[in-house]
């Protein structure tokens, strides 16, 4: 028990850059919450951020690219059952349904307002989709209920201990867990991130979304995980966890994603 408590404490304190992070990398991280994570921020502001992210995904083709990546992971399954956690606007799940004629999706989020908006949109009327409020760290589903869990551009919202639980939960309810997120940049890259984001924000976002999305984007860059951090989290979730990094599509605008597939020992 003492060893387990020590290991959990070490994960909770792990830098976002991983155990081998430099002192400068450790300095350039934050526990500050994004608007979408704060209880003292209105739903209106949160939905402005989500609308901004939706606009970026639409104009850059990210929604479709991420959907194709998810379907690539389950290409060996004829009728894949896919759970999207942290879905926000639900556009990734919509794209999966458009690209695959027999896939079924559950689009979920921790935020009830976002889930209600997804349910009122195309996902709510699609017979191959359902929407649900789900906590990524405590997924309300039986073991092996899905073939894939996907978490796109939101894994960094979870602090290390919660991220470890999310990996364990996702690989309990599904064969594979796909994480697509911002890659942790070098210290210089982190400092330049606001400059890289500004032109894209001005070009593609609704004006009301620019300030709150930039606010959250800067915090996201400080909270993003490195590849070594993801490996450490996966091994902490289970010592025999397999972590495979896929070649991500190019986004442009100075943004680099990281794409990792976690498979538990029962599925390898």
pLDDT digits (tens, 9 = 90+) for 149-170: 999 999 999 999 999 999 999 9
pLDDT class for 266, splitting at 50, 70, 90? low
Q: Quick check: helix, strand or coil at residue 82?
A: strand
CATH class, 2-267 region: alpha beta
Q: Quick check: helix, strand or coil at residue 2?
A: helix
How far apart are alpha carbons 85 and 242 in whole angstroms?
Answer: 20
Structure tokens at 163: 């991220």
Lowest mean pLDDT among 3-12, 17-26, 119-128, 239-248: 3-12
Instruction: Count how many residues are written for the chain.
Output: 268
C-alpha distance from residue 217 to each of 18, 27, 88, 157 (Å)? 21, 18, 15, 11
Higher pLDDT, 234 or 204: 234
Q: Which residue from 218, 214, 267 is spatially nearest to 243, judged by alpha carbons?
A: 267
How far apart are alpha carbons 233 and 136 in whole angstroms?
Answer: 15
Residue 60 has what pLDDT?
87
Q: Which long-range contacts (CB under 8 A, 24 or more apart) does 93-96 make?
A: 93/118, 93/123, 93/129, 94/63, 94/122, 94/123, 95/63, 95/64, 95/66, 95/67, 96/67, 96/70, 96/71
What does pTM read for this prediction?
0.94
Percent of the chain past pLDDT 70, that is, above it, reads: 93
């Amino acid at each position: 028990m003492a060893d387990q408590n020590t290991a959990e404490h070490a994960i909770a304190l792990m830098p976002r850059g991983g155990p081998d992070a430099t002192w400068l990398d450790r300095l350039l991280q934050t526990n500050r919450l994004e608007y979408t994570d704060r209880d003292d921020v209105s739903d209106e502001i949160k939905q402005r951020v989500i609308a901004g992210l939706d606009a970026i995904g639409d104009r850059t083709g990210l929604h479709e690219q991420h959907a194709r990546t998810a379907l690539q992971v389950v290409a060996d399954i004829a009728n894949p059952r896919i759970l999207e956690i942290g879905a926000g606007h639900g556009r990734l799940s919509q794209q999966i349904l458009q690209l695959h004629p027999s896939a079924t999706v559950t689009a979920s989020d921790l935020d009830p307002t976002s889930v209600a908006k997804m349910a009122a949109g195309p996902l709510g009327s699609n017979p191959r989709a359902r929407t649900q409020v789900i906590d990524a760290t405590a997924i309300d589903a039986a073991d092996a209920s899905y073939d894939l869990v996907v978490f796109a551009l939101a894994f960094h919202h979870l602090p290390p201990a919660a991220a470890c639980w999310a990996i364990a939960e996702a690989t309990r309810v599904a064969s594979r867990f796909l994480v697509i997120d911002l890659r942790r940049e070098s210290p210089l890259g982190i400092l330049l991130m606001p400059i890289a984001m500004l032109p894209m924000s001005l070009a593609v976002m609704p004006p009301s979304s620019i300030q709150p999305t930039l606010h959250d984007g800067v915090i996201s860059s400080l909270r993003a995980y490195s590849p070594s951090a993801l490996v450490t989290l996966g091994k902490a979730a289970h010592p025999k966890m397999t972590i495979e990094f896929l070649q991500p599509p190019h986004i442009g605008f100075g943004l680099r994603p990281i794409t990792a597939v976690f498979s538990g020992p029962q599925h390898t």
